[in-house]
Amino acid sequence: MDLSEWRRDPGSSCRLSSAVAAACRREPCSLGVDEAGRGPVLGPMVYAICFCPLSKQQQLEELKVADSKTLTEKEREKLFAKLDEAKDFIGWALEVLSPNIISTSMQQRTKCNLNTLSHDAAIGLIQYALDSGVQVKEVYVDTVGPAEKYEAKLKERFPELEVTVRAKADSLFPIVSAASICAKVARDHAIQSWKFVEDLEDISPDYGSGYPNDPKTKEWMESHVDPIFGYPQFVRFSWSTAQTILDNRAVPVHWDDDEEDGNKDNTPSVLTYFQRKTEDPKVQPHRFFTERKLVSLVNL
C-alpha cells in the first residue's frame, strides 16, 4: 500500500484506490464499507470500500477474509496482499481522514460530529466507485450510530442501490471483511510512519494503543502538552480526553463562540434596562470610534 501521497501532507485527507477491474465495470457488483481508527484519540481514521462482482463471491470467500479484529497484524498484511493480487476482480478505495481534519470538523463553528464525518466519507467512497464505472448493485455497511437511520440516509442518497446497514457487518459479509482489512492495514501504515509536521525534538513514539482508556496513551498525552499550542496534529483535539488535559495543563484560550463565557457576558442582564444611566450618554465616544472598536488609552 502506497501512502506516500498522503504522507506529504498528513494534515489533509487523502483518497487512495486500486485500479478498477474490467469485470467490475461489466458485471453487477457488491460493495462493502468499513472503517478503522474511529475510537483512538491519536492518528487518522480510515474509511475503505471493497467491491467485487456478484458472480465472484465464491472466490472472495476462498480468500478467507475475516473480520480484521480477529486477525494479527501479520495476517492482515498477508490478506491485504492477497486482495491486492486478486485485482482482476477485486477493487478497493480508501479515504484517510487525518486527526487534524477530525479535530477541525468537530470543533468548527458549525459543528460536524464524528458520525456525520463518517457517513460523508462512506458516501464519498460509494460515489467514487459509481463514478469509476463500477456496476454497484448491493452495498453492505458496518454501522455507525443507529443502523436504521444510517440505512435510510444511504438509501435516500443512492435510491438505485440495495443498501444493507448492519452492526457487525464485517463478520457477516465477506466484502465488508475485505474492506475492514484494507482500512485497518492503511491505518497501521499511517501510524507506523507518522511524520510529525511540528518541529519537535525527540518526541517519544511510545504512546500505547492510542485509545483514550489506555493508561500509556494518557501518560503520553499528559507529557506532550504545549501550554500554548496543546498537541501536535497527531492528536484529535476534539476528543474529551484531549480537552480535559488541555483544560488542566494548558493556558486557557477563549473563543467568541465559547458557550460558557460568551453568552453570559454579551447578554446584558434585564435589570440594566431599568437602571438609571449614571453616565452621561454624551461622554460616550463618537460612533466612529465605537464602531471601529477604537478606545482611548490611559496606560500602556
Interaction site with other proteins (CB under 8 A): 228, 254-256, 261, 265, 268-269, 272, 281-283, 285-289, 291-300
CB of 279 to other proteins, least distance (A): 9
Specify the residue, 156 or 280, whose C-beta has the smaller distance to other proteins: 280
| Of the candidates 91, 61, 64, 59, the residue with the CA atom closest to the CA atom of residue 75 | 64
Specify the residue, 2 or 283, whose C-beta has the smaller distance to other proteins: 283
DSSP-assigned letters across all residues of 113-151: -HHHHHHHHHHHHHHHHHHTT--EEEEEEE-SS-HHHHH
Specify the residue, 222 or 265, whose C-beta has the smaller distance to other proteins: 265
Specify the residue, 85 or 265, whose C-beta has the smaller distance to other proteins: 265
CB of 222 to other proteins, least distance (A): 22
Specify the residue, 62 or 265, whose C-beta has the smaller distance to other proteins: 265
Q: How far is CA 54 from the centre of its chain?
A: 30
- Cβ(65)–Cβ(181) below 8 Å: yes
CB of 196 to other proteins, least distance (A): 19
Cell numbers representing residue 117 in the block: 464525518
CB of 203 to other proteins, least distance (A): 19
CB of 73 to other proteins, least distance (A): 41
Query: Residue 296 class from Cβ within 10 Å (0-12 exposed, 13-18 middle, 19+ buried)?
Result: exposed
Name the helix (H) or strand (E) containing 34.
strand 29-36
